Amino acid sequence: MSAPPKTVLKVSPDEAEAIRQAVRTPGLSLLGEGYALAGAEHISGLVDLLSDPAVSEPIYDLPRPMTRANVAAWVADAERLRQAGEALLVVATDQDERIWLYSRFTVWPERTAAEIAGAHRADHQNAGLGKAGAARSFNWMFEALGVRLVCVTAALDNARSASVIEAAGFAAMGERDGVRPDGSVRRSRYWEMTREAWRTRPQREQA
Ligand X SMILES: CC(C)(COP(=O)(O)OP(=O)(O)OC[C@H]1O[C@@H](n2cnc3c(N)ncnc32)[C@H](O)[C@@H]1OP(=O)(O)O)[C@@H](O)C(=O)NCCC(=O)NCCS
Q: Which residues sit at the interface with ligand X, rule CB under 6 A?
A: 55, 58-59, 117, 119-120, 125-131, 154, 158-161, 163-164
Contacting residues for 46 by C-beta, under 8 A, at least 6 apart = 38, 71, 75, 91, 99, 102
- CB 179 within 8 Å of CB 55: no
Shortest spacing between CB 13 and ligand X, in angstroms = 32
Between 29 and 163, CB nearer to ligand X: 163
Pairing of strands 149-155, 113-120: parallel
CB 55 → ligand X: shortest distance, Å?
Answer: 6
- Residue closer to ligand X by CB (options 7, 125) is 125
φ/ψ of 47, rounded to 5, equals -60, -45
CB of 155 to ligand X, least distance (A): 7
Nearer to ligand X, 109 or 178 (CB): 178
Give the whole-angstrom CA distance, residue 199 versus residue 57.
33
Please give the Cα distance from 109 to 113 (Å, whole number). 6
The least CB distance from residue 18 to ligand X, in Å, is 28
Is the CB of 43 or the CB of 117 nearer to ligand X? 117
Q: Which residue is nearest to ligand X (CB)?
A: 130
